[in-house]
């Protein structure tokens, strides 16, 4: 049998030796051992029995494996198009062209810059009564314009900024679309393919916010990120980011000494106080002073300094507590620096520059159970995780969402040494697609696990 045929036999549960082989491959990729410790509902189990027994589904999964080598061409091509924060337009245009070429001629770029293409499922004469599932990966990277984004091969790895976070996700979406169209597999529910903007840095999830503001009939979301095979991101870590500017009169380092507070010294006091803050390990809560700058000359008392602070938590109430402590540390630092010189001329202004909502998809939701059961089909256990991704937006609205890996071993995220190993990565693309098919259903094989929701009012 071919490699893809062996994978299909494994999924159908018809070849024990193939299951062992797949598990060994998963282990080699660092995916972990064993099956999920969480049983799934009888409804989810029945759906997977139906899907894995359907020749049309097996043919699509085989096609994902067969398309792997070609999909790397999309990976290389899109990676080598710059997509800095707020500068995703060129990559968006290329992704749009691929969606159109592969079967979505009506795909378009929305007002915020997201690339959107709808693949319709089964419709009825009475209107839209099937679920709509977003499948998405983000277009943007953290790297500024001018970064060298050429793909370089070294051994088994491909290196380039953004190649795994998140161009691998984009290339997997394109592969899914190609094989669904080539195999003429019709889903019951609608699939909304989205290449989003604004996921990284100070993008503040602007693309996903716009999507859910303008399309109020979305019933769920599956995102692709460079997550390890066993990891299912089911919770959105909330975050708040502030820019803090310290200002004083400034002066000569010798002549004004003793009469003028330093903006840099005040900022330094604030950083030291923030560094001493303790946060709970659970719910996980973190903070960092990400950038700091100020002053104009080595022999001048600084008139201005500024820093940015990132605060995150898996619990919104705990996030607010941590935020109050950070901003309280700034206030105390200003008072201490002014007191040091007996003045009140040093001030600080605070500006909110990022606000990501948090949320969670319950572990017993069909969305999560579908992903868990797909992992089990491949001999993998599941580890439920929290992170900050595009899925934060639907989770905050009570819309079920999960983020899955697109396959491959990855590392060096947010550095120019970012890399991906693609040996066997088609398994991850298969597994994630299997989750998607379970959620939207396949005509002639299974009904959707994802339920229709009442459209949200404006």
pLDDT digits (tens, 9 = 90+) for 81-134: 999 999 999 999 999 999 999 999 999 999 999 999 999 998 654 455 899 999
Question: What pTM, to 2 d.p., does this model score?
Answer: 0.88
Closest CA to 220 of 457, 443, 39, 441: 441
State the pLDDT at residue 123: 67
Arithmetic mean of pLDDT, 9-20: 30
Domain shared by 204 and 254, yes or no: no
The domain that holds 243 is classified in CATH as: 3.30.70.360
Domain shared by 165 and 304, yes or no: no
State the pLDDT at residue 128: 58
Arithmetic mean of pLDDT, 215-238: 95
Contact 194, 211 (CB under 8 A): yes
Domain shared by 288 and 255, yes or no: yes
Torsion angle (degrees, nearest 10) of CA 76, 428, 139, 309: -120
Indicate if the pLDDT at residue 14 is higher than 50: no
To the nearest whole number, what is the mean pLDDT of the chain? 91
Domain shared by 184 and 244, yes or no: no
Q: What is the pLDDT of residues 241-296, one digit of tens each?
A: 999 999 999 999 999 999 999 999 999 999 999 999 999 999 999 999 999 999 99
Contact 205, 382 (CB under 8 A): no
Domain shared by 231 and 295, yes or no: no
- Where among 356, 378, 406 does a domain terminate? 356
**Residue written as token pair 């491909």:** 158
| Residue 232, both tokens | 């299912």
Domain annotation covers residue 173: yes
Domain annotation covers residue 68: yes
| Residue 192, both tokens | 């909304």
Domain annotation covers residue 453: no
Long-range pairs for 150-159 at CB < 8 Å and ≥24 separation? 150/80, 151/75, 151/76, 151/79, 151/80, 156/421, 156/423, 157/419, 157/420, 157/421, 158/75, 158/76, 158/419, 158/420, 158/421, 158/422, 159/412, 159/417, 159/418, 159/419
Q: E strand or H helix at 26, and its extent?
A: helix 16-28
Domain annotation covers residue 134: yes
**Residue written as token pair 């810059």:** 113
Domain shared by 194 and 296, yes or no: no
Domain shared by 163 and 183, yes or no: yes
Domain shared by 170 and 206, yes or no: yes
Domain shared by 286 and 412, yes or no: no
Domain annotation covers residue 455: no
Domain annotation covers residue 451: no
- Where among 324, 356, 388 does a domain terminate? 356
Q: What is the pLDDT of residues 358-381, one digit of tens each?
A: 999 999 999 999 999 999 999 999
Strand blocks (E) in 73-131: 108-109, 115-119
State the pLDDT at residue 147: 97
Domain count, the chain: 2
Domain shared by 61 and 184, yes or no: yes
Domain range for 374 = 3-237+359-440
Three-state secondary structure call for residue 151: coil
The domain that holds 212 is classified in CATH as: 3.40.630.10
Domain shared by 129 and 148, yes or no: yes
Identify which has the larger pLDDT, 29 or 157: 157
Arithmetic mean of pLDDT, 144-153: 97
Domain annotation covers residue 457: no
Domain annotation covers residue 409: yes
- Where among 298, 323, 356 does a domain terminate? 356
Domain shared by 38 and 148, yes or no: yes
């Amino acid at each position: 049998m071919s490699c893809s045929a062996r994978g299909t036999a494994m999924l159908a549960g018809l070849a024990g030796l193939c299951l062992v082989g797949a598990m060994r491959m998963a282990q080699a990729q660092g995916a972990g051992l064993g099956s999920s410790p969480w049983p799934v509902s009888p409804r989810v189990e029945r759906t997977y029995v139906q899907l894995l027994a359907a020749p049309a589904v097996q043919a699509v999964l085989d096609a994902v494996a067969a398309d792997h080598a070609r999909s790397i061409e999309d990976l290389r091509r899109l990676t080598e198009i710059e997509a800095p924060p707020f500068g995703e337009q060129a990559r968006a245009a290329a992704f749009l062209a691929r969606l159109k070429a592969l079967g979505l001629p009506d795909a378009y770029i929305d007002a915020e810059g997201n690339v959107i293409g709808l693949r319709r499922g089964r419709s009825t004469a009475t209107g839209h009564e099937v679920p709509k599932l977003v499948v998405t990966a983000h277009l943007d990277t953290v790297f500024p314009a001018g970064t060298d984004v050429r793909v370089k091969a070294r051994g088994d790895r491909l290196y380039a900024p953004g190649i795994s976070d998140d161009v691998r996700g984009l290339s997997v979406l394109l592969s899914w679309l190609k094989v669904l169209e080539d195999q003429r597999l019709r889903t019951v529910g609608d699939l909304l393919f989205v290449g989003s903007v604004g996921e990284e840095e100070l993008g503040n999830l602007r693309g996903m916010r716009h999507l859910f503001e303008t399309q109020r009939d979305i019933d769920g979301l599956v995102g692709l990120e460079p997550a390890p095979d066993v990891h299912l991101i089911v919770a959105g870590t909330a975050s708040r980011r502030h820019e803090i500017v310290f200002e004083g009169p400034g002066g000569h380092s010798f002549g004004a000494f003793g009469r003028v507070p330093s903006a840099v010294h005040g900022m330094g006091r604030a950083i030291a106080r923030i560094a001493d803050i303790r946060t709970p390990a659970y719910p996980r809560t973190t903070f960092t002073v990400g950038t700091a700058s100020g002053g104009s000359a080595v022999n001048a008392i600084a008139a201005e300094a500024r820093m940015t602070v990132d605060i995150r938590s898996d619990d919104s109430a705990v996030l607010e507590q941590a935020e109050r402590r950070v901003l309280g540390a700034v206030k105390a630092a200003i008072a201490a620096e002014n007191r040091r010189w007996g003045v009140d001329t040093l001030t600080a202004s605070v500006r909110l520059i990022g606000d990501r909502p948090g949320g969670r998809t319950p572990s017993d939701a069909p969305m999560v159970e579908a992903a868990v059961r797909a992992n089990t089909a491949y001999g993998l256990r599941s580890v439920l995780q929290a992170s900050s991704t595009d899925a934060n937006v639907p989770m905050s609205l009570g819309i079920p969402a999960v983020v899955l890996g697109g396959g491959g071993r990855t590392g060096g995220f947010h550095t120019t040494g970012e890399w991906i190993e693609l040996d066997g990565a088609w398994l991850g693309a298969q597994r994630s697609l299997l989750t998607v098919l379970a959620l939207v259903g396949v005509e002639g094989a299974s009904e959707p696990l994802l339920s229709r929701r009442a459209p949200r009012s404006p």
